[in-house]
Amino acid sequence: MRCDDCDEPAAIDQPYAAAHLCARHFSRSVEERVRREMHRQAPRFPGGVVAVALSGGKDSSVALQLTHRHFSRRPNVHLIALTIDEGIPGYRPATVEAARALTGRLGVEHRLVSARERLGTTTDETARARPEVVPCSFCGVWRRRLLNDAAREVGADLLVLGFNLDDLAQTVLMNLARGDVDRIPRMAPHRQRQPGLVPRIAPLATVPEREVFLYAHLEGLPFDHGVCPHADRASRNVFREVVWRLEEELPGTRHALLKTQRRIAELLSAPALVGAPNRCVDCGEAAAGERCRPCEYLKSMGRPSPAMVGP
């Protein structure tokens, strides 16, 4: 099979677009899709501090590389990479090393944020103490909080996340399947500034996971292939399989789910529908109920709620 744009052999097929591309045209197409999303999700960005959530895996490494390239001619943009260490020995240390290698190569400032220091506990410790709870439930909630706190501490105007098309399609389906439609407008990118939250964007939103992997590989990015030892318990796995099956049978389903997210976000973007958040009684951050979810988890584990408030 040949590339649609030149005589080189195709490096990838894209059934959802009925396209075949060689390595060079494929890399260009990824860069173009990410550039378009950057402009779409953060239009007329005036400059400032841009934080990039960098786990050291393929997605966030590609997000950092392309964000760095996107802003490379903007002296008024300062990039900072943030890595959350949830405390998962045997998994996180290798990804932290990969994150250090990439930030070193790009010359980007890098900060490591430790759950042990900030929360007084770690994902592994809590998983051992509460084996009946799926670790991703508290780990994900705590990581989002630590990221937002760290982004505020560095004065970030924007927080870049590495979610790819598969991740977002799975999240849309998960929220729909659970009846959590009101969560869909809160997914990145943020159309409206939410109090206390650094606006998040997801510039890899239209790039499928396998294409992110291929791009990271072709670019020779240092990234870690490791899988978290708790990942097999995540309820997301079911949705990953469902999305794979749907995409195989009906190419373009992931893009349709992304469109669903955007349409619902538009329909529900009126402030009265999104609603003003309460304040958490423990930490003072925005909360849907009496307590924010990070504090709810800490309380249910019998842990005190530390002051998780940035400047």
How many other C-beta atoms can be found within 10 angstroms of the C-beta atom of residue 291?
20
Taking residue 266's Cβ as centre, other Cβ atoms within 10 Å add up to: 11
Integer Cα distance of 65 and 76 in angstroms: 18
Residue 114 phi/psi, 5-degree rounding, is -100, 125
Please, which residue, 154 or 292, has the CB nearer to Zn ion?
A: 292
> Of 261, 156, 248, which Cα lies nearest the Cα of 205?
261
Q: How far apart are CB 135 and ligand SF4 at their closest, in Å?
A: 4
Strand partners, 201: 160
> Binding to ligand SF4 by residue 119, rule CB under 6 A?
no
- DSSP-assigned beta bridge partners for residue 14: 19
Give yes or no for a contact between 9 and 22, defined as CB atoms under 8 angstroms apart: yes
Q: Is 123 in the site for ligand SF4 (CB under 6 A)?
A: yes
- 182/160 Cα distance (integer angstroms): 22
Q: Which of 86, 167, 224, 296 lies at the binding interface for ligand SF4 (CB under 6 A)?
A: 86
141, 234, 242, 288: which one binds ligand SF4 (CB under 6 A):
234
> Binds 135, which of Zn ion, ligand SF4, none (CB < 5 to 8 A, cut-off by type)?
ligand SF4
CB 11 within 8 A of CB 22: yes
Instruction: Kindly state whether residue 228 participates in binding ligand SF4, applying the rule CB under 6 A.
Output: yes
From 82, 127, 243, 280, residue interacting with Zn ion (rule: CB under 5 A): 280
User: CB of residue 310 vs Zn ion: minimum separation in angstroms?
Assistant: 13
- Rule CB under 6 A: is residue 230 a binding residue for ligand SF4? yes
Q: Token digits for 294?
A: 């990070």
> Can residue 25 be called a binding residue for Zn ion (CB under 5 A)?
yes
Distance in Å, CB of 138 to ligand SF4, minimum: 8
Counting contacts by CB under 6 A, is residue 135 touching ligand SF4? yes
* Residue placing its CB nearer to ligand SF4 in the complex, 14 or 137: 137
- Tell me the three state secondary structure of residue 49: strand
Strand, coil or helix: 116? helix
Binding site for Zn ion (CB under 5 A): 3, 5-6, 8, 22, 25, 280, 282-283, 292, 295
Binding site for ligand SF4 (CB under 6 A): 86, 88, 123, 135-136, 139-140, 228, 230-231, 234
